Amino acid sequence: MSQPSQQPSADSPAVYPAVNYLNADRGVKSWFLTLDHKRIAVMYLASVLVMFLVGGIFAMAIRLELLTPEPTIMGANTYNRMFTLHGVVMIFLFMIPAIPGVFGNFCMPLMLGAKDVAFPKLNLLSLYLYWTGAILAISAMAMGGLDTGWTFYAPYSTTTPTTVFPALLGVFILGFSSILTGLNFIVTIHTLRAPGLTWMRMQLFVWAIYATSIIQVLATPVIGLTVMLAGIEKVGGFGLFDATKGGDPVLFQHFFWFYSHPAVYIMVLPSMGVVSDAIAAVARKNVFGYKMIAYSSLGIAFVGFFAWGHHMFVSGQSPFDNGAFAVISMFVGVFTAIKVFNWVGTLYRGAIAVNTMFVYVCGFLFFVVFGGMTGIAVATVSLDVHWHDTYFVVAHFHFIMVGAVIMGFLIAIHYWFPKMFGKKFHEGWGMVAASFIVLGFIATFVPQFFLGNAGMPRRYYMYPERFQAWNVASTAGSSLLAFGFVIIAIYLIYALLRGEIAGDNPWQSRGIEWLTTSPPDKHNFPKPIVVTQDPHSYQKPGEEVEHVVI
């Protein structure tokens, strides 16, 4: 068991472990009071999928409304609530917790050869805080909803008569969940690595989770404070952002983006980690430029903190700060570019398998390059004057948030589905759905770039008629996207119930998480792991290995 690479289990028949973490304990209590990181991960998975469904329904409603320039299916106030809740649910309840909460929790301790995370009780507390925050956010919806946009900009958010406060409280509590998860993961990675697992032998997913956790710990307190201040101002009239009381509304934006810019890396870094891991398994090859990918994750985590002002180029921020934040944003872009080069480089001279994951990886690479570079484009100060708050920005961040984060999430689901549940999904349907998703995605969001170019502002309920053609195209594309998700839901549920038994390592991956049974035992590994190899190493020991330097 000590050598990750020496036990290809391809020939042995697939066995479903009789006792595993899923059936070791029974009863509702054994789930809700569990301290097992894997069960917590499964509960996170169920929760974030529900939230994704909710956010997705809002998204479809928005797209339908925008089918015509006039009111289509709902009133203006309903529409404003829809896009607000779409943003709040997708960002705070889906994207931020999705990959760290589910796959970080499930796989990261396994990848370290650990028995659990450092603070299992804290881990469970994070989940409960997540649920509390989710319930509060949903209750805001039930109490009439809020119409501020997910950015909660003051003074609108502090003066609107809608129910903002429960949502702010929800975000505050979700922040704590996020902080505690990040703290837990940092300590786990520092203390619970198996013997021999040096920093430079950690899998890239672990590196990504580590970088993400740093951002979570450093940035999230600030959003906690920000929403707290907005809530106090709304309820108590403290006037911190109220111009008539001498307050400065732009200060709110500084507060907000100090968290929310790093937060986009909280969302996207784990996804990049998933791709780094999965691409090695798909191409059966060592990751090209391992160190560059690892360090660029840390680089993004660090430099990402200095770029928040590029969300505020036309907000009344000074030209000096605009320039400073713009130039720093250019450097953040370089870190992502490094990763892209290395991912493509990993495919070079690999043995690429044709499967669902690969389709998503292709989509991911295109989206991350186009979405990333349009990000640099909007960070170019003068261009942002035209593009700011138009659909160009909407399209850009959906390329990154949907194109990169959701592709990463889907890759992770498909890659680790056998690990989590010990079952195989249908590869053919997987590829069909993946094609729908990738194409539907392009059809949904490419038109929005043109809308932005033409000057359609975001958060528009009604729009001048000249924008209609592209809006129709976008709505049509979104239905393809939704159809793809329906297919995925069907074949994954089928796989869960009556799927073929996957065996311990169906992808013949060399990741440490595959060294135990699938699904794993309650205590993860039957015997302690000792790591002696480099990560993502697909060469058989003793075999003549060709070294190529390009």
319, 497, 498, 527: which one contacts another protein (CB under 8 A)? 319
Contacts of 17 (CB under 8 A, 6+ apart): 422, 517, 518, 519, 521
Smallest distance from another protein to CB 490, Å: 27
Nearer to another protein, 170 or 224 (CB): 224
Angle among Cα 309, 291, 199 to the nearest 5 degrees reads 100
What's the full length of the chain, in residues? 550
> Is residue 160 at the binding interface for another protein, with CB under 8 A as the rule?
yes
Nearer to another protein, 121 or 486 (CB): 121
> Is residue 350 at the binding interface for another protein, with CB under 8 A as the rule?
yes
| Contact criterion met (CB below 8 Å) for 352 and 283 | yes
Smallest distance from another protein to CB 44, Å: 19
Nearer to another protein, 130 or 152 (CB): 152
Which residues ranging from 290 to 309 are in contact with another protein (CB under 8 A)? 292, 305-306, 308-309
- For 358: left if phi > 0, alpha if psi spans -120 to 50, otherwise beta; the answer is alpha
Nearer to another protein, 308 or 491 (CB): 308
Question: Which window, 51-59, 124-132, 136-144, 373-381, contacts another protein (CB under 8 A)?
Answer: 373-381
Nearer to another protein, 186 or 488 (CB): 186
> Is residue 541 at the binding interface for another protein, with CB under 8 A as the rule?
no
Nearer to another protein, 428 or 528 (CB): 528
> Is residue 320 at the binding interface for another protein, with CB under 8 A as the rule?
yes
237, 428, 489, 532: which one contacts another protein (CB under 8 A)? 237
Which residues ranging from 445 to 464 are in contact with another protein (CB under 8 A)? 450, 453-455, 457-464
Smallest distance from another protein to CB 494, Å: 26
Residue type present at position 14: A
87, 100, 247, 408: which one contacts another protein (CB under 8 A)? 247
Give the C-alpha separation, 177 to 123, whole Å.
Answer: 9
Contacts of 58 (CB under 8 A, 6+ apart): 82, 83, 85, 86, 89
> Is residue 222 at the binding interface for another protein, with CB under 8 A as the rule?
yes
Smallest distance from another protein to CB 232, Å: 7
Give the C-alpha separation, 467 to 452, whole Å.
Answer: 10
289, 429, 439, 533: which one contacts another protein (CB under 8 A)? 289
191, 490, 493, 532: which one contacts another protein (CB under 8 A)? 191
* DSSP 8-state symbol, 26: -
Tokens coding 431:
């590829």
153, 397, 491, 514: which one contacts another protein (CB under 8 A)? 153
Give the C-alpha separation, 409 to 216, whole Å.
Answer: 19
Nearer to another protein, 143 or 354 (CB): 354
Nearer to another protein, 205 or 370 (CB): 370
Count of residues interacting with another protein (CB under 8 A): 158
Smallest distance from another protein to CB 438, Å: 11
Q: What pairs with residue 479 in β-bridges?
A: none
> Is residue 426 at the binding interface for another protein, with CB under 8 A as the rule?
no
| Contact criterion met (CB below 8 Å) for 512 and 112 | yes
Give the C-alpha separation, 69 to 467, whole Å.
Answer: 8
> Is residue 527 at the binding interface for another protein, with CB under 8 A as the rule?
no
Nearer to another protein, 469 or 493 (CB): 469
Phi and psi at residue 196, to the nearest 5°: 90, -15
> Is residue 258 at the binding interface for another protein, with CB under 8 A as the rule?
yes
Which residues ranging from 161 to 180 are in contact with another protein (CB under 8 A)? 179
Which residues ranging from 464 to 503 are in contact with another protein (CB under 8 A)? 464-466, 470
* DSSP 8-state symbol, 286: P
250, 298, 432, 439: which one contacts another protein (CB under 8 A)? 250
Give the C-alpha separation, 125 to 183, whole Å.
Answer: 13
Nearer to another protein, 50 or 473 (CB): 473
Q: What is the DSSP string of 67-119?
A: TSSS--SS-HHHHHHHHHHHHHIIIIIIIHHIIIIIIIHHHHHHHHT-SS-S-
Q: What pairs with residue 390 in β-bridges?
A: 457
C-alpha pair distances (Å), 96 with each of 47, 110, 406: 13, 21, 11
> Is residue 365 at the binding interface for another protein, with CB under 8 A as the rule?
yes
| Contact criterion met (CB below 8 Å) for 415 and 372 | no
Nearer to another protein, 17 or 350 (CB): 350
> Is residue 119 at the binding interface for another protein, with CB under 8 A as the rule?
yes
Question: Which window, 92-100, 235-243, 425-433, 474-482, contacts another protein (CB under 8 A)?
Answer: 235-243
Smallest distance from another protein to CB 34, Å: 14
C-alpha 495, offset from chain centre: 24
> Is residue 377 at the binding interface for another protein, with CB under 8 A as the rule?
yes
Phi and psi at residue 521, to the nearest 5°: -70, 160
> Is residue 82 at the binding interface for another protein, with CB under 8 A as the rule?
no
Which residues ranging from 381 to 420 are in contact with another protein (CB under 8 A)? 381-383, 385-386, 388-390
144, 196, 428, 526: which one contacts another protein (CB under 8 A)? 196
16, 31, 131, 238: which one contacts another protein (CB under 8 A)? 238
Which among 425, 306, 435 is positioned nearest to 362, based on CA atoms? Answer: 435
C-alpha pair distances (Å), 217 with each of 44, 89, 132, 225, 256: 20, 21, 20, 14, 16
Which residues ranging from 128 to 147 are in contact with another protein (CB under 8 A)? 147
7, 9, 380, 468: which one contacts another protein (CB under 8 A)? 380
Q: Which residues of 30-62 are buried (b: 16+ CB within 10 A; e: fewer)?
A: eeeebebbbbbbbbbbebbbebbebbbebbbbb
| Contact criterion met (CB below 8 Å) for 325 and 304 | no
